[in-house]
């Protein structure tokens, strides 16, 4: 039986607006994308200057979609809001590293996810993690 993102969730926020979100994402379950966006939106209700939470949602959607489409495996999302900003990590269980590529006009909307992450995140990267990798990004919330 496959769990949806809602069935395997952990999130918490303290009185300062700091908190975390952790979701297990089912294999190729793209229903998880809007569920993760909704959960992240709740986590970021009182975070950052205008527009930052929308950027966070967009970039998170890109990382989650990439993990689910390109790996055919489960993935794990972790989002942490702290005094320095937001950090989102998506861990999958395939060692193949994602490649930045210039999108081809014939590809429609494909091939633009990591370009968006590179363009809009304050920092981002990929690191090996046991069996698989973690793709992450950070955003500074700026003044609330």
pLDDT for 128: 92
The separation between CA 17 and the C-alpha centre of its own chain, rounded to angstroms, equals: 19
Q: What is the CA radius of gyration of the chain?
A: 15
Residues 23, 39: contact at Cβ < 8 Å?
yes
**What pLDDT sits at residue 27?**
87
Q: Does residue 35 sit in helix, strand or coil?
A: helix
The size of the chain, in residues, is 144
- The reported pLDDT for the residue numbered 18 is 83
At residue 100, the pLDDT reads 72
pLDDT of residue 3: 42
| pLDDT score for 16 | 58
Whole-angstrom Cα distance, residue 70 to residue 113?
12
In sequence order, what are the residues at sequence separation of 6 or more whose Cβ sits closer than 8 angstroms to the Cβ of residue 57? 37, 40, 41, 44
| pLDDT tens profile 49-70 | 889 999 999 999 999 999 998 8
Are 74 and 24 within 8 A, CB to CB? yes
Which CA distances in Å does 78 have to 20, 86, 104, 117? 7, 10, 31, 16
d(CA 127, CA 133): 6
Give the pTM: 0.83
User: Which stretches of the chain score pLDDT less than 70?
Assistant: 1-9, 11-17, 101-112, 143-144
> In this structure, are residues 55 and 120 in contact, taking their beta carbons and an 8 Å threshold?
yes
């Amino acid at each position: 039986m496959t769990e949806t993102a809602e069935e395997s969730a952990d999130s918490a926020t303290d009185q300062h607006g700091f908190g975390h979100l952790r979701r297990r994402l089912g294999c190729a379950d793209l229903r998880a994308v809007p569920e993760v966006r909704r959960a992240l939106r709740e986590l970021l209700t009182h975070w950052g200057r205008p527009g930052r939470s929308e950027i966070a949602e967009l970039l998170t959607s890109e990382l989650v979609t990439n993990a689910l489409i390109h790996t055919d495996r489960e993935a794990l999302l972790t989002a942490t809001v702290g005094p320095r900003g937001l950090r989102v990590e998506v861990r999958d269980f395939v060692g193949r590293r994602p490649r930045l590529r210039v999108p081809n006009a014939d590809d429609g909307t494909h091939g633009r996810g990591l370009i968006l992450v590179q363009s809009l995140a304050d920092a981002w990267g990929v690191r090996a993690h046991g069996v698989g990798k973690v793709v992450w990004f950070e955003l500074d919330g700026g003044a609330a």
